[in-house]
Structure 1
Amino acid sequence: MNPFEDMRIFCQVMDSGSFTAAADQLGLSKQFVSRRLMQLEERLGVRLLNRSTRRLDVTPLGQSYYESALRLLGEVEQVEQGIAGQTTEPRGTIRLSAPLSFALAHLGCLLPVFLQRYRDVSVEVDLSDRPVDLLGEGYDLALRIGVLEDSTLIARRIASIKRVYCASPDYLAERGTPNKPEDLLNHDCLPYGHGRQVQWRFDGPGKPLTVNVTGRMRVNNGDVLRDAAVAGMGVTYLPTFIVGAALKEGRLVPVLEDFSPEPLTLSAVYPQHRQGSRPVQAFIEFLRERLDQTQGVL
């Protein structure tokens, strides 16, 4: 019997949402994980999880045990790291998820510097614009842009991201320059994402305004939309880290500048049980330090 190992298995099942996913993350069999949790419940004399063919539901006692176990495991990890001398030198692997365009613009140059600073840390990076399931898919950390959903994840602000409405000079010469948000109803737009209806939000004189925009091209990648805008396909709305060079070179021209909304927030989010991870915290502080050199606005 190893109570700390049982705690670790139970917490992984809670984080992953199933025995199968937890077993994959732990490198164990599903049968072994299930058997250990049954033995844990027998030893405690309580039911921690209600099981069905479709889902696992935690009981009130199970939730209390989970929160206490996370805290104890975090304390054990910190003690072991202190004994190993890792309070000053992080060591281990970070599984990171980051938006594709942001990673191409910033992480490509920052990651080598980080790894040179911390010789005992390695990084596995998944570049995707989809909101990954950190717990279910076993990520230690994710970078996310925009408003965060309420969750049990811990979030730390990294920087602000300014966005701009823009189009090519040729497009504006042919179709005219929009002077107010409603003018976009008569323009081809290049919205980010998918769905039948996309709304752009505008701030400015008076109350905020949303406009339904349409166009012949809709993509869930900012680099592709930027290139389409440069080619004269329409008006787009993207972060400056994607369109900044094209604006500087005159291949794109900003429009509706008086109506730009507040910048988005770039956040680092991670599960509660990674709060004591030295590599994760070192990477977050590194990003805050490096990106703060741009006055926190990207």
Structure 2
Amino acid sequence: MTIELGFNDRYVDLLEERWDVAVRIGRLANSALVARKLVAMRVVLCAAPSYLARRGTPTRLADLGDHDCLGHTNASLAGTTSWAFGKDGTIKVPISGSMCSDNGEALVRAAIAGQGLVYGPRFIAAEALRAGQLSELELDEPPMMLGAAYAITHPTRRPAAKTRAWIDFLAEALPALGTDW
């Protein structure tokens, strides 16, 4: 088996780009693709202690307008102009900030450096949260429920045994890593 990993935060067309499997995070749109849930995910809002000391700690959704919010250019619910809150993600809060990126890891690094608030999947910020580099914030509405990470395959191409084995491995290994999802 040969594994080629492509790490990016963009939508991948499995057929056109000749991928056997993609891991997608979030809520799945209605599609003909075959999905297997790997692990449940949650969203967190966080910032560096240095940023909070300088700018104050938001406690309400309305406070977000007074803060630099680091937006994700490829995320519809945690994007560059609004963030979605409430368990079903229907409360849209306008945001603005001095930086945006198409990569969640870059946004977390910027937040660690004190550049602003970051809102995204917990697993991306988990290490920084454990190390005390970021603090998780609680507002008057909960973060949206992100959904899960899914292994996606194309319905017209039956996955090879090695691809199914890889998906089985992910489905077992990811939840075993802990609760930082």
- State TM-score, norm by structure 1: 0.54
How far 1:142 sits from its partner (Å)? 0.8
Distance 1:295 1:228, change over 3 A: closer
Normalising by structure 2, what TM-score? 0.87
How many residues are matched? 176
Counterpart CA distance in 2 for 1:296 and 1:277 is 30
Q: Which residue number in structure 2 is paired with residue 137 of structure 1? A: 17
Task: Describe the superposition over 1:52-93 as per-residue Cα deviations: whole angstroms up to 9, x where unpaired.
Answer: xxxxxxxxxxxxxxxxxxxxxxxxxxxxxxxxxxxxxxxxxx
Relative to 1, partners in 2 of residues 1:281 and 1:296: Cα closer, same or farther, differing over 3 Å? Answer: farther
- Equivalence for 2:67: 187
Residue of structure 1 aligned with 2:82, choices 199, 202, 214: 199
232, 236, 242: which one aligns with 2:124: 242
Which secondary structure does the structure 2 equivalent of 1:267 belong to?
Answer: strand
How many percent identity over aligned positions? Answer: 36
**Could you give the per-residue CA deviations for residues 188-219 of structure 1, whole angstroms, max 9, x where no partner exists?**
11111169952211127xx9521011100000
Alpha-carbon distance in 1 for matches of 2:7, 2:136: 28
Q: Within 5 A, what are the aligned runs for 1:147-226? A: 147-193=27-73, 197-203=80-86, 208-226=90-108
Runs of 4+ aligned structure 1 residues displaced above 6 Å come to: none
In our comparison, the structure showing a higher alpha carbon Rg is: 1
Deviation at 1:292, TM superposition (A): 2.6
Q: CA deviation at 1:278?
A: 0.9
Relative distance call for 1:164 and 1:197 in structure 2 (3 A) is closer
| 8 A Cα contact 2:72 2:104, kept in partner | yes
8 Å CA contact retained: 2:123, 2:180: no
SS of the counterpart of 1:123? Answer: coil
**How far 1:254 sits from its partner (Å)?**
1.0
Provide structure 1 residue ranges, at least 5 long, that are not aligned to the other structure. 1-120
Is residue 162 of structure 2 the alignment partner of residue 279 of structure 1? Answer: yes
Provide the C-alpha distance between the structure 2 equivalents of 1:171 and 1:127, rounded to a whole number of angstroms: 29
Q: Are 2:118 and 1:231 aligned?
A: no
The residue matched to 1:281 in structure 2 has which SS?
A: helix
